[in-house]
């Protein structure tokens, strides 16, 4: 997923590579760049990643994303990450307990994000995860 905003460009993607170490075969990557500078976050051991550009409660643009596992014990309603594209500052990293903080920052209910299946995308790139 690529987002071109007035402040920055954001990429949310899965990078896969063929390696003997199963846990290193795929990672979800969030990149926000502006004027030749960038912030990059990498996530391994997740099953889904996705995001979009949204406005904070105070109106400033933000890159909002989720990265989480897909098991029955996974917190798919939490695990929110937020990057300020103007400052390239990470305001929130995905954790199991940050749903309330994300709601406060974004000013209310959290919208469902378009998610990428890490396994499906790795398979599309020719890398079997299991």
pLDDT per residue as tens digits for the range 9-51: 999 999 999 998 888 899 999 999 999 999 999 999 999 999 9
Delimit the domains of the chain by residue range: 2-124
* CA-based nearest residue to 29, from 54, 11, 7: 11
Task: Fill in the DSSP letter of residue 112.
Answer: P
| Tens-digit pLDDT profile for residues 53-74 | 999 999 999 999 999 998 877 8
105 closest CA partner among 92, 90, 123: 92
**Residue written as token pair 């959290």:** 110
- As a whole number, mean pLDDT of residues 110-127 equals 95
Taking the C-alpha atoms of residue 34 and residue 99, their distance in angstroms, rounded to an integer, is: 28
Whether residue 5 has pLDDT greater than 90: no
């Amino acid at each position: 997923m690529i987002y071109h905003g007035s402040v920055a460009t954001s990429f949310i993607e899965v990078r896969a590579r063929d390696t003997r170490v199963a846990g290193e075969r795929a990672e979800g990557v969030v990149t926000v760049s502006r004027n030749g500078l960038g912030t990059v976050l990498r996530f391994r051991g997740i099953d889904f990643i996705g995001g979009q550009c949204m406005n904070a409660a105070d109106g400033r643009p933000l890159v909002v994303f989720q990265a989480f596992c897909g098991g029955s014990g996974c917190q798919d309603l939490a695990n929110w990450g937020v990057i300020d594209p103007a400052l390239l500052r990470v305001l929130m990293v995905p954790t199991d307990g940050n749903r309330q903080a994300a709601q406060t920052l974004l000013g209310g209910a959290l919208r469902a994000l378009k998610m990428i299946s890490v396994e499906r995308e790795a398979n599309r790139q020719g890398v079997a995860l299991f």
